[in-house]
Amino acid sequence: MTAPRKIIIDTDPGQDDAVAILLALASPEALEVLGITCVAGNVPLALTAKNARIVCELAGRPEVPVYAGCDAPLARKLVTAEHVHGKTGLDGIDLPEPRMPLQKQHAVDFLIDTLRAEPAGTVTLVPIGPLTNIATAFARAPDIVGRVAGIVLMGGAYFEVGNITPAAEFNIHVDPEAAQAVFAAGVPLTVMPLDVTHKALTTRPRVEAFRALPGRVGPAVAAWTDFFERFDKEKYGSDGAPLHDPCTIAWLLRPDLFTGRRINVEIETEGRFTLGMTVADWWRVSGRPENAFFVGDIDAEGFYALLTERLARL
């Protein structure tokens, strides 16, 4: 029996972030969540830090430490996404105010201290929001960069183009300078772009399978999905909504559900129309060195089966 992989989830919950956290917490034999670090993104920091604690309590895991991090991007004004996630970030169901405390330590300090304390190459970072906390930690403590086992992130797009601008995906667009720093850091990167998450769409049977689960978690996930599905169906003309962020955790649990290729990915920080674009050299024409495993496809049936099976445990 191998020891569970140690991870830190860096997040801006967000309904789909919440589902990613639940999937990780439901898989303790495979994943040990050392902590959850919060960043401003889908909603401002005060709400993301609150929402992460709500989700931990929903999962029955109030002992998981939650840290508040950066409240604004490195060099830009914060762009948020209440138009998708609602004013709380977790609209769709009323959940109680969290009773568990927010940790006093800043998220960036927790990232630095943890990566220094744990054996090198044993901690995987899972950023599913803007990359501000990760980039700040790397800039402040360059010695930790080589200690990271890998980064599995949700962000970017290539063939699916953008979802916040015509060219850019939201997480990268919010803080392109942070993304540029992380992509250039030399840490092994696995990227879940819109190209793959838009193939992981909710359907009525999939949502109803969540709703039918025993306990509080399945119905809560179904209610969240119902909420943001309305926006995405209208926007994309699709039958359901993508569950973006849980793809990162699913990759850690079941990499066989995904396919992709190692390529070079650069972050556009100056473009007039393309700010925040992930310029993915899918056809390997640039001659630039590979720096990311860019995922392109998913077994959606297998993904939803995994999600349903794990959420039933909570």
Q: What pLDDT was estimated at residue 231?
A: 67
Global pTM reads 0.97
Q: What pLDDT was estimated at residue 238?
A: 73
Residue 279 has pLDDT above 70, yes or no: yes
Q: What is the mean pLDDT of residues 192-208?
A: 95
**166 falls in which pLDDT band (50, 70, 90)?**
very high
Q: What pLDDT was estimated at residue 233?
A: 66
In contact, 155 and 278? CB cutoff 8 Å:
yes
Q: What is the mean pLDDT of residues 183-203?
A: 96
Q: What is the mean pLDDT of residues 150-170?
A: 96
Q: What is the mean pLDDT of residues 267-274?
A: 97
Question: What's the CA gap between 190 and 308, in Å, rounded?
Answer: 24
Q: What pLDDT was estimated at residue 175?
A: 98
Longest dimension (CA), the chain: 53
From 85, 173, 198, 244, the catalytic residue: 244
Q: What is the mean pLDDT of residues 26-35?
A: 98
Lowest mean pLDDT, pick from 224-233, 247-256, 281-290: 224-233
Q: What pLDDT was estimated at residue 229?
A: 73
Residue 240 has pLDDT above 90, yes or no: no
Q: What is the mean pLDDT of residues 249-264?
A: 98
Domain 5-311 has CATH 3.30.70.360: no
Q: What is the pLDDT of residues 257-267, one digit of tens each?
A: 999 999 999 99
* pLDDT above 70: percentage of residues in the chain: 98
Residue 57 dihedral angles phi and psi, to the nearest 5°: -70, -40
The yes-or-no answer on residue 244 being catalytic is yes
Question: What's the CA gap between 74 and 210, in Å, rounded?
Answer: 38
Q: What pLDDT was estimated at residue 177?
A: 98
Question: 123-127 and 258-263: which strand pairing?
Answer: unpaired
Average pLDDT, the chain: 96
Q: What pLDDT was estimated at residue 116?
A: 98
Q: What is the pLDDT of residues 205-237, one digit of tens each?
A: 999 999 999 999 999 999 999 888 766 666 777
Q: What is the mean pLDDT of residues 160-168?
A: 95
Q: What is the pLDDT of residues 89-138, one digit of tens each?
A: 999 999 999 999 999 999 999 999 999 999 999 999 999 999 999 999 99
**9 falls in which pLDDT band (50, 70, 90)?**
very high
Q: What is the pLDDT of residues 44-93, one digit of tens each?
A: 999 999 999 999 999 999 999 999 999 999 999 999 999 889 999 999 99
Q: What is the mean pLDDT of residues 22-34?
A: 98
What ranges do the domains of the chain cover? Answer: 5-311
